[in-house]
């Protein structure tokens, strides 16, 4: 007489355990940015600060210098990649552009980043500075890699320095720096907005991994 089937171990149980173990692995976020004078770097550090507020998140800051190659394997091992660049003449900085182009053969040709979360931020010397062009370039780059873009998800502020999303961006963080040291500018509102984006990316990535 055959024993009842309900007493047999199920073959899919080990996979279930592996799924549970995977959820214990920290969410890894890489922030790849260019910064000439330290202002965009300051924004990047506040994005990282916001992401680290979410339990179980590891964050790595990677500055693109235009000369050294970025460790693409490390980025491929990330769950999310956030891009940051100054806006020069209404466009992405050349160091970030070089980095973007360097991913074509080793990453894009095999869609190795497909399904990863992406987001972006930029900084310029004026309130407008045609910054949207930079964010659009970042978002298009992410789309061509099959990544999932996370927007800002904030209503616009009223323009005061302390306001969250004071410049009224939607696609990503828009920051503005005066002609002063990065310790003094951009203002607190832009830094709060950067932290918000970091938290949002970390939360979204964790949900997608669950």
- pLDDT tens for each residue of 48-67: 999 999 999 999 999 999 99
Q: Decide if pLDDT at 10 tops 80.
A: no
> Residue 5 has what pLDDT?
47
Identify the band that residue 182 occupies on the pLDDT scale cut at 50, 70 and 90: very high
Tell if the pTM clears 0.75, that is, is over it: yes
The angle subtended at Cα 33 by Cα 28 and Cα 37, nearest 5°, is 140
The domain limits of the chain are: 27-209
| Averaged pLDDT for residues 181-206 | 98
Share of the chain above pLDDT 70, in %: 89
Q: Topology of domain 27-209, per CATH?
A: Rossmann fold (3.40.50)
Q: Is 13 exposed, middle or buried (0-12, 13-18, 19+ CB in 10 A)?
A: exposed
| Averaged pLDDT for residues 65-82 | 96
Q: Decide if pLDDT at 16 tops 70.
A: no
| Residue-averaged pLDDT of the chain | 91
């Amino acid at each position: 007489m055959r024993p009842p089937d309900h007493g047999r171990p199920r073959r899919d149980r080990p996979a279930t355990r592996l799924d549970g173990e995977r959820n214990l692995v920290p969410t890894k976020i890489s922030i790849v940015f260019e910064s000439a004078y330290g202002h965009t770097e300051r924004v990047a550090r506040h994005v990282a600060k916001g992401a680290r507020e979410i339990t179980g998140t590891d964050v790595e800051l990677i500055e693109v210098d235009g000369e050294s190659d970025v460790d693409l394997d490390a980025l491929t091992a990330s769950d999310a990649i956030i891009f940051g660049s100054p806006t020069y003449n209404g466009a992405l900085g050349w160091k970030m552009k070089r980095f973007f182009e360097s991913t074509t053969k080793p990453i894009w040709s095999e869609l190795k980043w497909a399904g990863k979360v992406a987001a972006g931020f930029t900084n310029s010397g004026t309130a407008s500075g045609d910054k949207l062009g930079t964010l659009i370039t970042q978002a298009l780059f992410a789309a061509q890699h099959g990544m999932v873009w996370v927007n800002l998800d904030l209503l616009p502020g009223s323009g005061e320095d302390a306001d969250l999303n004071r410049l009224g961006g939607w696609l990503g963080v828009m920051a503005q720096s005066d002609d002063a040291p990065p310790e003094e500018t951009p203002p607190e509102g832009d830094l709060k907005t950067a932290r918000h984006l970091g938290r949002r990316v970390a939360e979204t990535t964790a949900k997608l991994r669950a």
